[in-house]
Amino acid sequence: MSTWPRPVMWALPVALVYATYFNYGYMLGDVSYGGTANGTLVLESCQADWSVFATRSTCVGEVVPDEGEPESFRHEFARFTVDDVGMPIRVTDDRTQSGRGWHTVDEFVPSPLFRVLLLVLPIAALLTFLRALATVRPRE
């Protein structure tokens, strides 16, 4: 039986859980399947999300649909940057298909490999933790 020090026992599962979070935020947080534009988004602010090393942002703005009343917009893990604030961005309303609401018209769909990783990483983290927990014996 192993006598892993407690910090090592916790470090690997924590790293794998963070890798899963990062993978979600970076690859799946802003999936867009394209579509026909039926609104315009104007961002009011974008803040870099440092939990994913500022590769994505949390943005707030307003969507003006081609038909209808303006709607507030907030999106985490967005691909927008501070440079996009104040610029008109064509968007489509996808609530009927995905339930996600407004998203950009350009298509951004991650590789199926990353979708598999999103499933595998938390399972690996759990199994690693349980294995480490099972092999640790109390120090004397």
Phi/psi at 81 (5° precision): -130, 180
How far apart are alpha carbons 31 and 77 in whole angstroms? Answer: 10
Kindly report, residue by residue over 99-115, the tens digit of the pLDDT: 557 877 776 666 677 66
The predicted-structure confidence for 28-38, as pLDDT tens digits, reads as follows: 666 666 678 88
DSSP letter for each residue of 20-75? HHHHIIIIITT-EE-----EEEEEEEEEE-GGGTTSSEEEEEEEEESSS--EEEEE
Q: Is-above-0.75 flag for pTM?
A: no
Residue 111: which residues within 8 A CB-CB, separation 6 or more?
27
